[in-house]
Amino acid sequence: MTMAIITIFLFGSTYIFSVGLNATGKNKIKFTARNLAKDMMEEVLSKEHWKKDGACGVTTLVAESGESRFGTTADTVYDDVDDYNTTSGTGYSEAPPRKIDVMAHVTGAAMNEYIGFKREVKVEYVNPNTFSTPVLPSPEDKICKKITVNIYYDPQLAFPATSLVYSIIQVVTKT
């Protein structure tokens, strides 16, 4: 009888311990995802919110020809938030996340400690009253830009739609 009670106690303790470890692992993934999203949003928001010429009546938000996130000169690096949409307008994406550290000369290097994570940035025009996407903005419209950073985690790197673990949305207005 004593052996049965000890066995049940050990089984229960082992189960509780494994559930705790699982929860800790999930919390670590969410914490990492949140930090990756915050870092990317901070980078995007450090750029000009509106193109320098003031034109907001364009239909697509994309980088100018020759610009990239890891450009090496003022003419080739992203300089405004629109640039985080690719030339196809689908948004910037990277897996694993890549770092920008000009001082350490590792610009564009993959952050291998984050293998299994994927970052995406999408920038789109939105109506300031409804936050819905307007069809065609014109310069006289009061238009905002919605910046969305999504973080996905999938250790098998298949990235199904259900793997979203963190998302940040920021809206910027033209002053």
Strand residue runs (E) in the chain: 92-94, 117-126, 144-153, 164-173
The whole domain housing 18 covers: 2-173
Q: What is the pTM of this model?
A: 0.72
Residue 63's closest CA among 46, 38, 88?
A: 88
Q: What is the full per-residue pLDDT of the chain (175 aa) written as tens digits?
A: 676 676 676 666 566 655 554 556 678 888 898 999 999 999 999 888 877 554 444 556 777 777 877 777 777 778 888 888 765 556 788 888 888 765 555 577 788 888 889 999 988 888 777 777 665 555 556 678 888 899 998 877 666 655 777 888 888 877 6
**Number of domains, the chain:** 1
